[in-house]
Amino acid sequence: SDCPSPSSLPQKLETALGEEVQRAQKWLEVTLEQEKQMKMFKTCLTVQEVFNQYQRTHQGLLYKRIPLSDCCAPKEEDFDQLLEAMKSTLAEDSRSAFVFNCSNGKGRTTTAMVIAALTVWHFTGFPEFGDDEIVSVPDAKYTKGEFKVSNKHRDFYQKRV
């Protein structure tokens, strides 16, 4: 069977859901890392609104939304969109960084990160890994997912719930 297609109007859907969450005035279960808590939301921001706040303090930050279906392989058009976004961004600044996210930061985020890494390596050359691969460094923060950008993003969200 075919994968369901992501909403063609994601911003409208996000805005409507955010308004509904705020109108409900109820406690909602949220998961922060591995810990579940009950929270009353003061605000509910869409991804676009979060980007707008970051853009004010981070010059040159760009936002590109490429909705991927969950639990299935990306479609060819998804690859094309991601490739075009990366090519145009890297053409402007070869030192550009990319941040990917999905609802829980695992499935589609990982898929997009793998596609991006393979794309960059296709253009720049695949790295030569020796016996001591960089991901094998014991207790290295980056092997545990403790990235500066991720931690700032997490802290930004935790202040709002």
Each domain of the chain, given as residue ranges in start order, spans 1-63, 66-132
Residues above pLDDT 90, as percent of the chain: 3
Q: Return the pLDDT at 128.
A: 76
Query: Can you read off the two tokens belonging to residue 4?
Result: 């369901």
**Across all residues in the chain, what is the average pLDDT?**
75
Query: Can you read off the two tokens belonging to residue 135?
Result: 């991901």
Q: How far apart are CA 115 and CA 95, in angstroms?
A: 18
Q: Return the pLDDT at 84.
A: 92
3-state SS record for the chain: CCCCCCCCCHHHHHHHHHHHHHHHCCCEEEEECCEEEEECCCCCCCHHHHHHHHHHHCCCCCCCCCCCCCCCCCCHHHHHHHHHHHHHHHHHCCCCCCCCCCCCCCHHHHHHHHHHHHHHHHHHCCCCCCCCCHHHCCCCHHHHCCCHHHHHHHHHHHCCC
Of residues 119 and 153, more confidence is placed in 119
Q: Has residue 1 got a pLDDT over 50?
A: no
Q: Return the pLDDT at 97.
A: 85
In terms of pTM, does the model score above 0.85? no
CB–CB of 35/155 below 8 Å?
A: no
Query: Can you read off the two tokens belonging to residue 141?
Result: 């923060």
pLDDT tens, residue by residue, 42-96: 788 888 888 888 888 888 888 888 888 888 888 899 889 999 999 898 888 888 8
Q: Has residue 161 got a pLDDT over 70?
A: no
Q: Return the pLDDT at 154.
A: 61
Closest CA to 83 of 117, 57, 108: 117
Closest CA to 71 of 112, 28, 107: 107
Of residues 30 and 77, more confidence is placed in 77
